[in-house]
Amino acid sequence: MPGPVLCLGQVPARRKGSERLPLARISPSEYEGFRQFLEDACGILLGANKHYLVQSRLNRMMADSKVASLGDLVERLQRERSGGPLREQVIEAMTTNETFWFRDNHPFRILSEHIIPEYLKRKQRSLRAWSAACSTGQEPYSV
């Protein structure tokens, strides 16, 4: 089994001043436990290579909450009830909170190059689209 993932460097603190936080080490088992928590808690599926994302989004919160490791955080989250403040804070930190018109190019390219031409060939009268997890609605209106 591979050893812990090491990230060399620092993440800028989000508070005023020049303080910097050292990146926390994440072992493969801690990362897997956090991936499972996040999927169970809110349906977010993290890829196997997203250690950097977890570190960058949780490092400040873990320091402020005096949580020593990702494993400790997962243990605290498992003890906390659904809707608890730490759980909500972690989910909020791990969620992409942005919405805007034509947010990602790839889906629109697939639509214009493949899906819409195929749809037009079939001469169907209606088209239904589902935009999952949109915030204020720009994504489905972009479609």
- Tell me: the pLDDT tens digits for 117-129? 988 898 877 877 7
Which two tokens mark 57? Answer: 């989004």
> pLDDT tier at 101 (50, 70, 90 boundaries)?
low
Domain positions in the chain are 10-94, 105-142
User: Does the pLDDT value for residue 106 go beyond 90?
Assistant: no
- What CATH number does the domain located at 10-94 have? 1.10.155.10
Instruction: Report the distance separating Cα 88 and Cα 106, nearest Å.
Output: 30
> pLDDT tier at 7 (50, 70, 90 boundaries)?
very low
- Tell me: the pLDDT tens digits for 28-42? 999 999 999 999 998
Instruction: Report the distance separating Cα 36 and Cα 21, nearest Å.
Output: 26
Residues 6 or more apart whose CB falls under 8 angstroms from that of 18 comprise none
